[in-house]
Copies of this chain bind each other. A is one copy, B any other.
């Protein structure tokens, strides 16, 4: 492999090419981004070797599409049109149905692999990128059978080499499950932050009384609205379902409090405690 194009030099894209470059020192990383300052920063931080443009994408062997999911869906068909027959394009978006649908009949569908590396932090931009983000993390791959066999092999080898374990899932199941284990957490945190900020106009009070528990629960409220708005839009139906169930559970908890059913609250909490075992593997 020689020429890798990274489209979107943010947290995920930047971290991916840092790891890939470490495993393959001879590759040349070309960065493409709408944001000129991000490109300059990525060059300074040696995340990319060269600043580039989409009009040379035919020279790419691997293209990593790491932009917000609405932009990814728009860009992918054009990229497939433009790349060489041997090139592989992967995306890293948090929704998979729309992007797979957008290219289902594309003549070069076999040059695309849909994936979702389950990794990240609440920060964004090239400064947030770091090597090692993907070690021991899950990479969910959708519709692997639609990607050319040699290209599949190339991708799996590459992402395994940076420490990821692959899991295979269809786009519909991916979007449904990820709404529960990722998208809902973000809304829960954003609305917790909103509720507390609205109430506590005097921020000094929050700061003094808030402990590490609040910080942990609200952490995802630092996430990028630019990235998350299109995710919620594309996964609207699933996310609304998770929100409805979450609101029902919160309302039931509130009603138990109102009715002094503290035994019921105790049981709810005890039954949820076994999340300990579930979380053991991911922390």
Contact = CB atoms under 8 A, between A and B. Distances in A.
Contacts of A275: 193, 197, 218, 221-222
Contact of A180 (B177, B196, B236): B196
Given A246-B192, A247-B247, A278-B203, A232 B198 contact: no
Nearest to A236: B257
B210 A268 contact: no
Contacts of A118: 209-211
Given A138-B209, A193-B275, A257 B270 contact: no
Q: How often does this chain occur in the complex, in copies?
A: 2
A262 B246 contact: no
A192 B199 contact: no
Interface string A261-274: 01001101111111
A55 interface: no
A185 B209 contact: no
A215 B50 CA distance: 36
B190 A269 contact: yes
A101 to B, nearest CB: 19
B200 A181 contact: yes
Given A181-B209, A278-B207, A282-B214, A197 B272 contact: yes
A167 interface: yes
A246 B195 contact: yes
A77 B167 CA distance: 59
**Interface residues of A: mostly helix, strand, loop or mixed?**
helix
Interface residues of A, number: 93
Nearest to A174: B209
Nearest to A202: B177
Given A140-B209, A254-B243, A272 B232 contact: no
Interface centre among A121, A223, A243, A283 (most CB of B within 10 A): A243
Given A138-B209, A216-B216, A249-B191, A221 B272 contact: yes
Contact of A281 (B198, B207, B281): B207
Given A240-B257, A270-B225, A282 B210 contact: yes
Given A190-B253, A191-B249, A233-B260, 10 more contacts: A119-B211, A122-B213, A137-B211, A184-B196, A185-B214, A193-B272, A197-B274, A199-B242, A217-B219, A228-B269
Interface of A: 118-122, 137-138, 140, 167, 177-178, 180-182, 184-200, 203, 205-223, 225-226, 228-230, 232-233, 236, 239-240, 242-247, 249-251, 253-254, 257-258, 260, 262, 265-266, 268-279, 281-283
11 contacts: A140-B208, A182-B209, A182-B210, A190-B272, A192-B246, A195-B242, A197-B271, A225-B273, A232-B265, A236-B260, A247-B251
